[in-house]
Structure 1
Amino acid sequence: MIERFVDPDKIDVHADCIEMDELFSGERVREGRELKGFELVEVGEVESEGIEVVGECSDLLGIHVIVSGVSDDAAQAIESIFSEVINRMKGVEYRFRKENVRIIVSRDAEGRFTPDCVGKVVFDAVKAIPAVERVRVRIVCDEEEFERVLSRSSRVHAEREERASRLRERDVDTFYGCISCQVYLPNHVCIITPERPSPCGTLYNEAKSAEELKLVHYYFPVEKGEEIDGEKGEYEGVNRTVQEKSDFRIERVKLHSALENPPSTGNYAEAIVFYIPEENGFGIVDRGYKKKTPIGLTFDEMEKLIVGQQVEGFVGVSFAYMKSKSFLKGDGGWEKVRWVSPNVYDFIMEFLPDDVLRRIRTSS
């Protein structure tokens, strides 16, 4: 068992370069400069601790951290603290995970939000974990290096997803919950299982390691309890936890269904599954697709409709969940999918058989 290293309610990081406080964690930055980013923590030899800034910061800011003294599972969990600490900066909003990071910097914060400042905050946060022996932080702004490390980040995360995918819900007694979105959505709770990553892409092993390391306060263990419906993914312990954490706004959850008691959807879903009544099947639209879907709604319109709520016929999902053997198995799985956005199609064509792909269209 990993020791409890960091106080669960606080990562005590301060900076002279920018005003920081937990009170700013729920701040929405409506206007400002948007930076594209990524987050990657790897285990490796660290000859020289410190902070390295690669290139001049314009619209790119990737965070690449090399650590020693921890396992790879712990390393991937450390990635979850980046949003935690950067969102404490006044006038800064850190959105999404992994290769999809977006950082919005208000005009008032622009002069203070620098690569060196980000590097120092990230370095101090990671260094505060006693299990971590040595740390090197690379803030990547150079376009060529950004694309190189972004590609590596994608490969590393894919390998971690593949490793995590071998575990099944039946193999464990404990799932993990996440309430990070309750800053904005007070009745929303995610349940993360070996076969259902969170809609924002957090894997079971990441949540497990983050909770055990006590890196952030919003992950917590969930006793699975008695199985009520294995096909749809309903468990007695999960229902009890969701009731408590949602202030009893949600009574039941079927983890692998979009039609019947689906999980509620948080702020940063990578994609949304929606029911198409005329076809008795489903569509899947990713966040980057801006056109209307077959039901006449865009991703943004669907998100506003369902965010923080349980809405039957809609559910937020991650790309990692699409690869799960339990993907929508309570509703018929991929056999019931009729339409996907082009980005989703490019992703699923890597692992779905041709006979399934032939039944899925991308034109609205």
Structure 2
Amino acid sequence: MFEDIPVDVSPMHEGERIRSANMFVELAGPKSIGAELVQVKDSVEDGKIEVIGPDIPEMEQGQIYPFAISIEIGGGELEEELEGVIERRVHELCNYVKGFMHLNQRDQIWCRVSTEARDAGFRLEHLARALSVLFREEFPIIESISVTIITDEKEVESFLETAREKYDLRDSRARELSDEDVDVFYGCLMCQSFAPTHVCAVTPDRTALCGAINWFDCRAAYKMDPEGPIFEIEKGEVLDAEKGEYEGINAAVAEHSQGTTERVYLHSIFGYPHTSCGCFEAVAFYIPELDGIGIVNRDFRGETPLGIPFSAMAGQCSGGKQVEGFSGLSLEYMRSPKFLQADGGYSRIVWMPKELKDSLIEFIPEDLRDKIATEEDATSIKEIRRFLREKGHPVLERAAAEPEPEAEEEEEAEEITMEEAPSTVPVVSSPEMSVPVAGGFRIILKNAKIYAESVIIKRE
């Protein structure tokens, strides 16, 4: 089937990571632009394979290039609502190709080609040919298919505009429905090759973390392939409507995560937040000093108020982990009326990158739009606190409603009893903590929380 492709093509290569030391070139990613788009067309030139721009032999090692994948499909049983579902499989099928790594989705894709693949004679036209064959195998309803790979910068920029318009149309359609309108939710396991215990719960009010699949997409995918990675979840009893806890989701997550996760809150980052895969578009994170929540998206290059960039934060909560105070999100979920409703929604958000805020501005309540800080307003906890006070952010009302601790003055030390403190945040909380011990060994504590009856602050 793949005799004319110089590298192996098989599901066994899913999950392959190409590190910098083994990389020939990087395609799209955080330092360039890219997108992928599947479109159903009435007329498709079957078997057409095209590369627009430099192919692997014309590229320089260690460089980064813009990158886009355009797939057109035709077939009597194909419907436009299947585009998003089929498009999401680009991630999985690209990773079948040995020496080619594909991460994320839509206009967030990040790909690499290994030096081993380059040395074997791999070219982007081989990737296009592999996708053409694999999509036919995965979706028998596809009767004709053409695949175009684009690396020319101007062509990618033009394609990116078209793709984003298509994404927006798909997302706006999904906003017409709410969780209360349906009896069935959906689960998605497509990211388990990278996050084995992650189960994505998709409801009308909460799109998949990748942002590429909404409830309508899942419904169409399940009808087309009931045995595939997307499955039905009976809603069952509503255990907590505000937090978004459902009997059916808990049961499905427990089953498909091998018992690693037993409870999930769809609309809170506290208690039992939704697990995070690695393809999420943004991360919501708790800032205990402010009792507020910050959000950082994948495109942001600076540091968050916690002093770490998106990549480090994503590493802490990805892989299917359930980390209290952190949760991966899709950008579309931030447009939902149920967005973190159990935590206060936007009235609890205190910081986010300006570009992200601007893209969401019409979905942020008008009275809060100038009260949420961005990197242009503040970067440190101290600066954000000052900004919140100047703007009168409602998160300050939460702090004022808490009882003030009765601090005892001492010459040498000040003791703050945690039971009296205005917050129940643990002294130390970390998704992973490393402790060196004797003999060259190291103890690693997962999801560690250290509590103390009191904290003594001594002046040196």
Contact kept in structure 1, 2:44 and 2:74, CA below 8 Å: no
Judged with a 3 Å threshold, the aligned counterparts in structure 2 of structure 1 residues 215 and 75 are, in CA distance, closer, same or farther, namely farther
AA in 2 matched with 1:323 = R
Match of 2:248 in 1: 237
Q: How does 1:63-212 map to 2 (within 5 A)?
A: 63-69=69-75, 70-111=78-119, 112-128=121-137, 129-201=139-211, 202-212=213-223
Are residue 44 (structure 1) and residue 50 (structure 2) matched? no
Match of 2:52 in 1: 54
Moved more, 138-147 or 231-240: 138-147
Structure 2: tracts of 5 or more residues without a match: 29-33, 60-64, 380-460
Contact kept in structure 1, 2:253 and 2:263, CA below 8 Å: yes
Match of 1:10 in 2: none
Match of 1:8 in 2: none
Judged with a 3 Å threshold, the aligned counterparts in structure 2 of structure 1 residues 292 and 142 are, in CA distance, closer, same or farther, namely closer
SS of structure 2 residue aligned to 1:291 = coil
SS of structure 2 residue aligned to 1:358 = coil
Judged with a 3 Å threshold, the aligned counterparts in structure 2 of structure 1 residues 39 and 215 are, in CA distance, closer, same or farther, namely farther
Are residue 222 (structure 1) and residue 233 (structure 2) matched? yes
SS of structure 2 residue aligned to 1:279 = coil
Moved more, 135-144 or 20-29: 135-144
Structure 1: tracts of 5 or more residues without a match: 1-12
Are residue 34 (structure 1) and residue 64 (structure 2) matched? no
- Number of residue-to-residue matches in the alignment: 352
Whole-Å Cα distance in 2 between the matches of residues 351 and 42 of structure 1? 28
Moved more, 212-221 or 129-138: 212-221
**TM-score, with structure 2 as normaliser:** 0.72
Contact kept in structure 2, 1:81 and 1:215, CA below 8 Å: no
Judged with a 3 Å threshold, the aligned counterparts in structure 2 of structure 1 residues 358 and 253 are, in CA distance, closer, same or farther, namely same
Give the C-alpha shift of residue 47 in structure 1: 5.0
Judged with a 3 Å threshold, the aligned counterparts in structure 2 of structure 1 residues 274 and 322 are, in CA distance, closer, same or farther, namely same
Q: 2:306 aligns with which of 292, 295, 299?
A: 295
Whole-Å Cα distance in 2 between the matches of residues 179 and 356 of structure 1? 36
Whole-Å Cα distance in 1 between the matches of residues 183 and 261 of structure 2? 22
SS of structure 2 residue aligned to 1:94 = strand
Whole-Å Cα distance in 2 between the matches of residues 161 and 360 of structure 1? 25
Q: 2:372 aligns with which of 349, 360, 363?
A: 360
- Alignment deviations for residues 308-339 of structure 1 (CA, whole Å, 9 cap, x no partner): 21111110001111111111111111111110
Contact kept in structure 2, 1:78 and 1:215, CA below 8 Å: no
Moved more, 209-218 or 197-206: 209-218
Are residue 326 (structure 1) and residue 338 (structure 2) matched? yes
- Alignment deviations for residues 222-274 of structure 1 (CA, whole Å, 9 cap, x no partner): 22111111111110010111111222222211101112211011112111001
Give the C-alpha shift of residue 15 in structure 1: 5.5
Contact kept in structure 1, 2:97 and 2:127, CA below 8 Å: no
Q: How does 1:4-43 map to 2 (within 5 A)?
A: 14=2, 16-17=4-5, 18-31=7-20, 32=23, 33-36=25-28, 37-43=34-40
Q: 1:335 aligns with which of 347, 354, 359?
A: 347
Give the C-alpha shift of residue 215 in structure 1: 9.4
Judged with a 3 Å threshold, the aligned counterparts in structure 2 of structure 1 residues 259 and 77 are, in CA distance, closer, same or farther, namely same
Contact kept in structure 1, 2:92 and 2:190, CA below 8 Å: no
**TM-score, with structure 1 as normaliser:** 0.91
Give the C-alpha shift of residue 220 in structure 1: 1.8
Judged with a 3 Å threshold, the aligned counterparts in structure 2 of structure 1 residues 283 and 122 are, in CA distance, closer, same or farther, namely same
SS of structure 2 residue aligned to 1:304 = helix
- Alignment deviations for residues 251-301 of structure 1 (CA, whole Å, 9 cap, x no partner): 211101112211011112111001122222210011232433223333222
Match of 1:3 in 2: none
Give the C-alpha shift of residue 350 in structure 1: 4.4
Whole-Å Cα distance in 1 between the matches of residues 179 and 365 of structure 2? 24
Q: 2:290 aligns with which of 274, 279, 282?
A: 279
Whole-Å Cα distance in 2 between the matches of residues 266 and 199 of structure 1? 8
Judged with a 3 Å threshold, the aligned counterparts in structure 2 of structure 1 residues 141 and 184 are, in CA distance, closer, same or farther, namely closer
Give the C-alpha shift of residue 54 in structure 1: 2.0
SS of structure 1 residue aligned to 2:117 = coil
Give the C-alpha shift of residue 216 in structure 1: 8.6
Whole-Å Cα distance in 1 between the matches of residues 176 and 280 of structure 2? 23
- Alignment deviations for residues 36-82 of structure 1 (CA, whole Å, 9 cap, x no partner): 13111112232532223222235233111222231111122110221
Judged with a 3 Å threshold, the aligned counterparts in structure 2 of structure 1 residues 106 and 215 are, in CA distance, closer, same or farther, namely farther
SS of structure 2 residue aligned to 1:267 = coil
Match of 2:399 in 1: none
AA in 2 matched with 1:185 = A
SS of structure 2 residue aligned to 1:349 = helix
Structure 1 stretches of 4+ with a deviation exceeding 6 A read: none
- Alignment deviations for residues 173-227 of structure 1 (CA, whole Å, 9 cap, x no partner): 2212122332233222111111111221132222332333239942222221111
Aligned residues: percent identity?
A: 36
Contact kept in structure 2, 1:46 and 1:66, CA below 8 Å: no
Contact kept in structure 1, 2:346 and 2:365, CA below 8 Å: no
Match of 1:4 in 2: none
Whole-Å Cα distance in 2 between the matches of residues 217 and 16 of structure 1? 29
Whole-Å Cα distance in 2 between the matches of residues 270 and 139 of structure 1? 24
State which structure, 1 or 2, has the greater radius of gyration over its C-alpha atoms: 2
Contact kept in structure 2, 1:41 and 1:79, CA below 8 Å: yes
